[in-house]
Amino acid sequence: MTDKINELLRRVEEFKPKAAAEIEEFRIKILGKKGELNALMEDFKTVAPELKRELGQQLNRLKNEATTRINALREEWQNAAAENAASEDDLTRPGTAEHLGSRHPISLVKNQIVEVFSRLGYTVADGPEIEDDWHVFSALNFPPEHPARDMQDTFFIEKDPDILLRTHTSSIQVRTMERQKPPIRVICPGRVFRNEAISYRAHCIFHQIEGLYIDEGVSFADMKQSLLYFAKEIFGEQTRIRMRPSYFPFTEPSAEVDVSCNLCGGKGCPVCKGTGWLEIMGCGMVDPNVLKANDIDPEKYSGFAFGMGIERVAMLKYGVKDLRLYFENDVRFLHQFDEAL
């Protein structure tokens, strides 16, 4: 009889229903009036009196275990059914909103800048990221010993002939002059590469946007007015600009453009380091040597060019203090620009 009890105990323990109805079936089979437990109870009546105590305890244990297990299984199945009903079948439940992706802040700012210049008649031009020495340096009037050509700045892919990752989007100026004769009016966004240690203010990959305007009679005043228009459109109507003399191999004269600090209105604050001005881009009149290198007659044509870092403009526009945030693609950062669309 002990064997039979143990066998039943094992079946109770191992019972795994595949449907809720199986639990009830199992209960009737084991605990029901004509079930296996009652059959054992009948046998129990006839066992020798000295075995009754021991077997009685075993039977009680079997009854308790079977009842507990069946109740537990019932509850488990009821909960699962309730959950299913709630998650799949209840069509009146409110839906969960899918989060839509948003534009990256660098794309947002790039598109805004392109849009502003397209209103002035500029079209977008493109060029390769893997370039040669001619398009990045030589055609732009860089002397052979210029430090920008150095291994420390430029990622070289091959030496002799030099194949390299472009260090600035000015190379697209050269590509454009090869394709097109004046009048030229292009805006050229793109990725650039420099061998720099990564920090909050520098990265080895970043974005620039370049502008080039060549026609008869283009003057420095034209450049100043165009850049003032750009600054007002991007940073607000009250924005002013100033130009400081500078040097670039490909422009003469060259200037550095500052915009009035849009945080303090020019009074001086930590962002503009108390000066009231923020450096935003380089510009200048295209050097006659550059025009000549690209078969454009400098006696007939003149032009201006400018170049700026898109990360820098985005930092100033959105108050982002660490450049690395643009490259990490942390959604907590990116979602902050949802509204800016």
Binding site for ligand DAH (CB under 6 A): 168, 170, 210, 248, 251, 282-284, 305-307
Nearer to ligand DAH, 58 or 180 (CB): 180
Shortest approach of ligand DAH to residue 272 CB, angstroms? 20
H/E stretch holding 4 = helix 2-14
Nearby residues of 87 by Cβ (< 8 Å), 6 or more positions away: none
Residue facing ligand DAH at closest CB distance: 307
Cβ 224 vs Cβ 242: under 8 Å: no
1: nearest Cα among 67, 68, 46:
46
233: nearest Cα among 111, 102, 72:
111
Shortest approach of ligand DAH to residue 311 CB, angstroms? 13
H/E stretch holding 130 = strand 130-132
Nearer to ligand DAH, 105 or 307 (CB): 307
The amino acid at residue 32 is G
Ramachandran area for residue 265 (φ above 0: left; ψ -120 to 50: alpha; else beta) = left
Nearer to ligand DAH, 70 or 227 (CB): 227
Nearer to ligand DAH, 35 or 253 (CB): 253
Q: How far is residue 13's CA from residue 137's CA, in Å, rounded to a whole number? A: 81
Cβ 194 vs Cβ 213: under 8 Å: no
Nearer to ligand DAH, 154 or 251 (CB): 251
Shortest approach of ligand DAH to residue 105 CB, angstroms? 21
Shortest approach of ligand DAH to residue 284 CB, angstroms? 4
Shortest approach of ligand DAH to residue 159 CB, angstroms? 22
